[in-house]
Amino acid sequence: MTTTPKHTTTGTNGSGAADRAHRRRWAVLAICCVAAALLGIDNSVLNYAIPSLSRELNPSSTQLLWIVDVYGFVLGGLLIVAGNIGDRIGRKKLLLLGVAGFGAASALTAYADGPGMLIAARALLGLAGATIMPSTLSLVRSAFDDPKERTTAIGISSGIGAASFALGPVVGGLLLDHFWWGSVFLINVPVMAVVLVAGWLLLPESRNPKPGRLDWPSVPMSITALFGVIYAIKTAARDGVDDRAVWISAVIGIAALVLFLRRQTTIADPLLDLKFFRNPAFAGAVGSNVVTLFTATTLSLGFSLYFQVVRGWSPLTAGLALLPGPLSAAFAAPLSAVLIPKIGRARTVAFGLVLMAASTAALGLVTPHSSYWLLLPALVVNGAGLIFVFSVTADTLLASVPRTKTGTAAAISETAMELGGALGIAVLGSVLSAFYRSDLTLPGGLTAGQTSAARESVTSGVETGAALPGGTGQQVVEAAKSAFTDSMHSTTLIAAALMAVGAVVALFALRNVPAVLDVETEAEAEAEAEAEAEADAVPAV
């Protein structure tokens, strides 16, 4: 049975505070959206600052890899732990700590005077980001008691989050055209300062009043497992599966993961409540997210290379070319709240995946000289399909668990997406590279070194051809561009087929999930109210 919205927020003091929190719910959404959007921008802006910072800091190749990857390693490894801590100490408190830390780490990053300092600062950014990501989603969930309003709010949050990733290249390009490389990080400081002040004044506190004891042995197990698995996946995507570091980190990560999961089934207060996955709504939403990120990240990578290497556009122009997709996601996000009561959650997610499958297959038909205006409709449709999936699955995940554990649920969602994206780059990125090498036909007369370099990647192929004189160089450039677009044809068809399969699976996995989803029954509401009174008397630690 679903309760009538009571406008209560776990951990607030009295009905007056609860009423104020209810009135401020849209301000809560705005604050959380700004914080999450800044994370999305920061996650994609670094690649555009690498040439400039490489000239100034002169990092080694190993240091450069850590500069790029350490943020994602730390972020992915700490999400579940951070979500649990937020449920215990308060999601507002954790968010504000993360926002303050993110602003400070951004300043350190901007003024790093060497590769070591930059790597450490990027690790601190990942730590702060791990506290912000689950906190924003769970605070939005707590602020909106009405299920329909909650669905709309989470849809808006998901849409802005999706758009923010595409804003990274645009923001980075504009800043790097006028300022030094550190400006792309320094811009975070004033924005996070505004979020910190607004959050302190307007956000209601939300926490689990009876969280149980934090199982400290599970913390290093969780971090080791996720860090090891993510490191193995990303390193395999970059260096291949023959790299010894891949197998060492994979074995350590998987062993830690097995120990961690076994422990979660034997303790009273698990760090990761595996019972969540017995709920078809929760499990189906997580699965849909993984499939979507697995396929969508490869499309993003492919078109970033297509616009910059094949078409020869600047990073700023390429970023602007990709922007219509995420912008359509931002504008289409509220439509998911309209579709759910009409066709249901399962059909809305499946519809989104079908839109993505069709548009991905259409985008894969590009040639080195395709008109951008022919690609634009498919980019817009793809963005809309993406957000129909993410907004519905995010709402389903958060609404299918008790309100007191939304921080943990949000962390699980973010971790699944991180793993899905990393796997997509590793698997489909490798498929893209393999098709490129098999489709590349080079002219005669090249040395073994030139042939090897041209076969490495489309970027190396174009650079190799540009360094060769006369018609031979032009033939190499055209061969590399044609091979890359041919490889995109094959890879995008595979991705589209996986999306279509995901749509069918979503229809079955989410078929019994109601349009109006709220797990809190009258009995649970009464228990929560009693727990709130106890929490007010003795603050949670």
Categorize the per-residue pLDDT at 317 as very low, low, confident or very high, splitting at 50, 70 and 90.
confident
Where does residue 336 rank: exposed (0-12), middle (13-18), buried (19+ CB within 10 A)? buried
Tokens of 212: 């149980």
pLDDT score of 96: 93
> Each residue of 213-223: pLDDT tens digit?
777 888 888 88
- C-alpha Rg value of the chain to the nearest Å: 24
pLDDT greater at residue 44 or residue 3: 44
| 487 in Cβ contact with 432 (< 8 Å) | yes
| 267 in Cβ contact with 215 (< 8 Å) | yes
| 168 in Cβ contact with 44 (< 8 Å) | yes
pLDDT score of 17: 53
> Each residue of 132-155: pLDDT tens digit?
888 888 888 878 877 778 878 887
Q: What is the distance between the alpha carbons of residues 185 and 479, in angstroms, rounded to a whole number? A: 38
| 61 in Cβ contact with 101 (< 8 Å) | no
Tokens of 310: 């094949």
Query: DSSP labels for 148-190?
Result: HHHHHHHHHHHHHHHHHHHHHHHHHHHHHTTS-TTHHHHTHHH
Q: What is the distance between the alpha carbons of residues 290 and 393, in angstroms, rounded to a whole number? A: 11
Whose tokens are 């579709």? That residue is: 339
Per-residue pLDDT for 538 more than 60? no
> Each residue of 436-485: pLDDT tens digit?
888 888 888 788 888 888 888 888 888 888 888 878 888 888 998 999 99
Tokens of 185: 């990080």
Spatial CA neighbour of 473 closest among 448, 454, 449: 454
Query: H or E stretch including 496?
Result: helix 470-509
C-alpha to C-alpha distances, 105 to 54, 77, 134, 327, nearest whole angstrom: 20, 18, 19, 29
Sorted by sequence, the CB contacts under 8 Å of residue 132 that are 6+ apart come out as 35, 36, 39, 95, 98, 99, 102
Q: What is the distance between the alpha carbons of residues 321 and 373, in angstroms, rounded to a whole number? A: 10
Spatial CA neighbour of 193 closest among 351, 34, 42, 418: 34
Per-residue pLDDT for 537 more than 50? no
pLDDT greater at residue 96 or residue 291: 96
Tokens of 178: 């006028």
pLDDT score of 523: 37
pLDDT score of 531: 45
Report the chain's mean pLDDT, rounded to a whole number.
81
Where does residue 262 rank: exposed (0-12), middle (13-18), buried (19+ CB within 10 A)? exposed
Half-sphere CA count of 206, side-chain side, radius 13 A: 37
Residue 130, SS3 per DSSP = helix
> Each residue of 318-362: pLDDT tens digit?
878 888 888 888 788 788 878 888 888 889 999 999 999 999 999
| 134 in Cβ contact with 83 (< 8 Å) | yes
CA angle 178, 183, 189 (to 5 degrees): 140
Categorize the per-residue pLDDT at 519 as very low, low, confident or very high, splitting at 50, 70 and 90.
low
Tokens of 513: 């999930």
Per-residue pLDDT for 8 more than 80? no
Whose tokens are 């906190």? That residue is: 135
Stated pTM of the model: 0.79
Q: What is the distance between the alpha carbons of residues 125 and 108, in angstroms, rounded to a whole number? A: 10
Tally Cβ neighbours within 10 Å of residue 170. Answer: 21
Per-residue pLDDT for 9 more than 90? no
